[in-house]
């Protein structure tokens, strides 16, 4: 069976009609998500907090100078800029060039949605090619909407923990395909792995182990029944995957060359410092993993059990050609769950921060999709009748309608009152001072001033990780002093230049 499956996996055939199924599924997902977030096309959103910190880096990306990723709360930048580059692309295309959105952040938002749609569409394309079922392929983008049910607007957000979910889903699907002897999907494995490693240094473990297991198992499965002609073609998918790896490695290598040891020293210091790690038992680690598998408690567990039973009892045994690909999905889901347990035990400093493992939602989603594929597997066994394809389409539409109806797709984020902050300060250069309660608005103010061509710097060098070294004041920095006070702080009442009841700015 492996020989037959892999021999038909001809990498020289670059395009087939069914190759449009994956992009179509990704496009449908994108249209629904953009429609739910249509406020982006008209509302002026001025970012603050983490989004403003990312915008400062995205400005570098637009100038071709960004070689690192987003900041980490533990004091370093993650390895690479790929996800920020996607936001920069969205800002350049939709705000600067096309002008279809009124502010840069709106363009960044659409850039992330495009990236997510690309990952989801690629995963659907893999499913279509491996299972040969258009309905099963389109069921994946439909089921993916349930992530927004478990984590509101989890796939409609530029918050970095949310941006890892779709690439991790693609990693799992591509790994399952490569693991079951398909070289064709090495490029998707490299692409998703590159996105994840750029986005967060902890993914070095996930991607490294997943790739090793998938490639090694795939090689073992292909040892029998592989022809000489097939071996001569092996270089094609490997060449594509290698090119993708080189593209993702380039900014990381350049950063090491320009600023050795770059972020490596900070990574090593964090890995060797266990003082910030909270004590945890194996039960704590299991609960950390379980948090992502039973988001709706008993209901979530029941759905997953139902989907597992349907997948195993129908598609896995009724549709013979689906057994190996779906077995690959099951193996990868178990592998990633084990890696999440290891990560929780050794890599997560605070298990009380559930956002750290949101990418693990891909596991239960793939199980639910397997259940949907199982139902479609039953349709595959129906005699060839006119209504057979219609029944498969009905299952997909019903699945999509259910998940979309119950999902929180629309992101409610509206930013802060950027122009009012800038107006309150008045003209001229600005030196900013702020403490922890006021940092989200202070960073938003920094970005708004910079976009207006104003000179601005931050006095306290402790904020360098958020604003970069270029924006830290030195002894020659000009400008009036503005102090930003956040909620809970008590500012002096004289020289107040802005006060909205939550944030106060005072001239120093």
**Domain locations in the chain?**
2-9+18-406, 418-507
CA 224 to chain centroid, in Å, comes to 37
Helix, coil or strand: residue 5: helix
Residues 6+ apart with CB under 8 A from 127: 22, 133, 136, 137, 140, 173, 325, 373
Q: What is the pLDDT of residues 334-365, one digit of tens each?
A: 999 999 999 999 888 888 888 999 999 999 89
- Strand partners for 498: 505
> Mind listing the pLDDT tens digit for each residue in 188-243?
999 999 999 999 999 999 999 999 999 999 888 776 544 455 556 677 888 899 99
In angstroms, the Cα distances linking 345 to 118, 172, 287 are 32, 22, 11
Q: What does the alpha-carbon distance between residue 371 and residue 349 come to, in Å, rounded to a whole number?
A: 35
Model confidence pLDDT, tens digit, residues 311-325: 655 554 555 677 778
DSSP β-ladder status, 430-434 and 456-458 = parallel
The contacts of residue 1 (CB under 8 Å, 6+ apart) are 324
Q: How far is residue 239's CA from residue 283's CA, in Å, rounded to a whole number? A: 44
DSSP sequence for 30-73: HHHHHHHTGGGGT---B--HHHHHHHHHHHHHHTT---S--B-T
What is the separation of C-alpha 4 from the centre of its chain, rounded to a whole number of angstroms? 35
pLDDT at residue 318, rounded to an integer: 53
d(CA 346, CA 453): 45
Comparing C-alpha atoms, which of 290, 283, 164, 237 is closest to residue 12?
Answer: 237
Cβ distance 376 to 135 under 8 Å? yes
Confidence of residue 6 (pLDDT cuts 50, 70, 90): very low
115-118-119 Cα angle (round to 5): 90
**Which pLDDT score, from 0 to 100, does residue 4 have?**
38
Alpha carbon distance 155, 114 (integer Å): 11
What percent of the chain lies above the pLDDT cut of 70? 82
Q: State the chain's mean pLDDT as an integer.
A: 86
Q: Where are the alpha helices (DSSP H) in 282-347?
A: 282-293, 298-310, 316-318, 323-346
Question: What is the arithmetic mean of pLDDT over 396-411?
Answer: 68
| pLDDT over 70 at 296, yes or no | no
130-156 mean pLDDT: 89
């Amino acid at each position: 069976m492996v020989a037959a499956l892999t021999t038909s996996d001809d990498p020289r055939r670059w395009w087939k009609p069914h190759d449009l199924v994956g992009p179509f599924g990704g496009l449908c997902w994108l249209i629904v998500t953009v429609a739910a977030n249509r406020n982006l096309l008209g509302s002026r959103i001025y970012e603050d907090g983490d989004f403003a910190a990312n915008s400062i880096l995205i400005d570098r990306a637009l100038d071709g100078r960004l070689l690192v990723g987003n900041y980490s709360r533990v004091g370093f930048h993650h390895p690479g800029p790929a996800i920020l580059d996607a936001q920069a692309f969205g800002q350049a295309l939709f705000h600067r060039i096309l002008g279809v959105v009124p502010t840069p952040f709106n363009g960044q938002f659409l850039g992330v949605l495009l990236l997510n749609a690309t990952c989801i569409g690629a995963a659907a394309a893999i499913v279509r090619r491996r299972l040969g079922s258009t309905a099963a392929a389109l069921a994946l983008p439909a089921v993916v909407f349930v992530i927004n049910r478990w984590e509101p607007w989890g796939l409609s957000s530029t918050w970095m923990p949310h941006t890892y979910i779709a690439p991790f889903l693609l990693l799992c699907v591509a790994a399952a395909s490569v693991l079951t002897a398909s070289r064709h999907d090495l490029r998707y494995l490299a692409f998703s792995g590159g996105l994840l490693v750029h986005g967060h240094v902890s993914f070095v473990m996930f991607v490294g182990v997943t790739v090793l297991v998938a490639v090694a198992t795939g090689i073992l499965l292909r040892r029998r029944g592989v022809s000489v002609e097939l071996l001569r073609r092996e270089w094609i998918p490997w060449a594509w995957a290698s090119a993708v790896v080189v593209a993702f490695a380039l900014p990381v290598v350049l950063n090491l060359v320009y600023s050795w040891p770059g972020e490596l020293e900070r990574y090593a210091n964090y890995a060797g410092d266990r003082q910030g790690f909270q004590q945890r038992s194996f039960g704590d680690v299991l609960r950390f993993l379980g948090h992502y598998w039973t988001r709706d408690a008993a209901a979530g567990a029941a759905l997953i059990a139902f989907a597992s039973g349907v997948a195993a009892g129908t598609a896995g045994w009724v549709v013979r050609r689906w057994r190996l690909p779906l077995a690959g999905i099951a193996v990868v889901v178990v592998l990633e769950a084990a890696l999440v347990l290891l990560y929780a035990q050794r890599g997560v400093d605070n298990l009380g921060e559930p956002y750290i493992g949101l990418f693990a939602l891909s596991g239960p989603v793939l199980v639910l999709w397997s259940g949907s594929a199982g139902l479609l597997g039953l349709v595959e066994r129906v005699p060839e009748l006119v209504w057979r394809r219609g029944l498969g389409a009905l299952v997909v539409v019903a699945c999509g309608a259910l998940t979309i109806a119950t999902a929180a797709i629309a992101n409610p984020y509206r930013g802060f009152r950027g122009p009012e902050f800038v107006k309150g300060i008045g003209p001229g250069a600005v030196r900013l001072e702020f403490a922890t309660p006021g940092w989200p608005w202070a960073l938003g103010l920094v970005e708004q001033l910079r976009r207006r061509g104003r000179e601005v710097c931050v006095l306290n060098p402790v904020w360098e990780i958020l604003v970069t070294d270029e924006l830290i004041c030195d002894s020659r920095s000009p400008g009036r002093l503005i102090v930003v006070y956040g909620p809970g702080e008590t500012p002096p009442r004289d020289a107040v230049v802005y006060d909205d009841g939550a944030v106060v700015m005072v001239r120093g």
